[in-house]
Chains A and B, each alone.
Chain A
Amino acid sequence: MTLRQFHQASWNEPILLELSNPGERGIVPPQIEQDLAAQDGLGDLPAALRRSEAPRLPELSQPQLLRHYLRLSQETLGNDVNIHLGLGTCTMKYSPKVNEEFVRSPKVADLHPLQDEETVQGMLEVFFRLEQMLREISGMDRFTFQPAGGSQGVYANARMMRAYHAARGEDHRDEIVTTIFSHPCDGAGPATVGYKVVTVYAGDKGYPEPDAIRKAVSERTAGLMITNPEDTGLFNPHIDEIVEIIHEAGGLCHYDQANANGILGITRARDVGFDLCQFNLHKTFSSPHCSMGMPVGACGVTSELERFLPVPTVEFDGTRYRLDYERPQSVGKIRAFHGVPATVVRSFAWVMSLGAEGLREVAEAAVLNNNYLASRLAGVRGLAVSFADTNPAHRLEQIRYSLAQLQEETGVGTLDVARRTSDFGVASYFPSHEPWIVPEPMTLEPSDSYSRADLDQYSEIIAEISREAYEEPQTVLDSPQRSTVHRMDQAPHDDPERWALTWRAYLRKQGGSAASEATALEAQTSGP
Chain B
Amino acid sequence: MTDAPSAHPYIPNSAPEIKRAMLDAVGVPAADELYGSIPARLRFPGLLDLPEPLRSEYELRRHVTGVLDRNESAAERLSFLGGGCWPHYVPAVCDEIVNRGEFLTAYYGDTYGDHGKLQALFEYASMIGELVECDAVSQPTYDWGAAAATSICMAARITGRRVALVPASIGAQRRSLIEGYCRPWVEIVTIPFDSGTGVLALERIRDALSPQTACVYLEVPGFLGVIETQAEEIATLSREAGALQIVGVDPISLGVLEAPPRYGADIVCGELQPLGIHMHYGGGLAGFVASPDTERFVSEYPTFLIGLGPTVMDGEYAFGEVVWERTSYVQRGDSKEYAGTTQNLWAIAAGAYLGLVGPQGLAELGRTITSRAHYAARRLDGLPGVRAPALSAPFFKEFVVDFNESGASVAEINLALRQRGIFGGLDLSAEYPELGQSALFCVTEVHTKADIHRLADELADVF
Contacts and interface: CB of A to CB of B under 8 A. Distances in A.
23 contacts: A25-B357, A40-B374, A41-B373, A60-B358, A79-B107, A103-B280, A112-B87, A122-B67, A191-B333, A263-B38, A268-B44, A291-B117, A291-B344, A292-B106, A293-B346, A295-B342, A348-B64, A355-B53, A357-B53, A365-B11, A427-B113, A489-B312, A492-B307
A488 B318 contact: yes
A485 B365 contact: no
B331 interface: yes
A179 B328 CA distance: 15
Interface string B29-53: 0011111111101111001111111
Interface in A106-122: 106-116, 118-122
A77 B109 contact: yes
Contacts of B115: 75-76, 483-485
Interface string A324-353: 000000011111111111110100110111
A351 B10 CA distance: 12
A66 B105 contact: no
Interface in B2-58: 8, 10-14, 18-19, 21-23, 25-28, 31-39, 41-44, 47-55, 57
Contacts of A29: 89, 357, 361, 364-365, 368, 445
Contacts of A339: 282-283
Given A337-B173, A504-B130, A72 B119 contact: yes
A77 B104 CA distance: 10
A106 B336 CA distance: 39
B13 A369 contact: yes
Contact of B107 (A30, A289, A433, A525): A289
A52 B57 CA distance: 55
Contact of A375 (B25, B57, B242, B243): B25
Contacts of B183: 194
A298 interface: no
A255 interface: no
B384 interface: no
B120 A192 contact: no
A175 B140 CA distance: 30
Given A16-B123, A151-B338, A152-B340, A109 B12 contact: no
B227 interface: yes
Nearest to A111: B281
B311 A488 contact: yes
A521 B261 contact: yes
A57 B362 contact: yes
A430 interface: yes
A422 B112 contact: yes
Interface string A353-374: 1111111111011011101100
A464 B304 CA distance: 33
Contact of B22 (A126, A368, A508): A368
B457 interface: no
Given A49-B257, A55-B254, A108-B71, A508 B103 contact: no
A111 B74 contact: yes
A122 B313 contact: no
A45 B96 CA distance: 37
A80 B112 contact: no
A427 B112 CA distance: 7
B449 A33 contact: yes
Contacts, number: 777
Interface in B326-369: 328-348, 351-352, 354-368
A6 to B, nearest CB: 12
B122 interface: yes
Nearest to A519: B135
Contacts of B51: 133, 352, 355
Contacts of B34: 364, 367-368, 371, 394, 396
B26 A371 contact: yes
B120 A55 contact: no
A501 B12 contact: no
Interface in B64-86: 64-65, 67-77, 79, 81, 83-85
A112 to B, nearest CB: 4
Given A152-B340, A292-B341, A98 B60 contact: yes
A502 interface: yes
B229 A57 contact: no
B119 A81 contact: no
Nearest to A367: B34
Contact of A100 (B99, B283, B304): B99
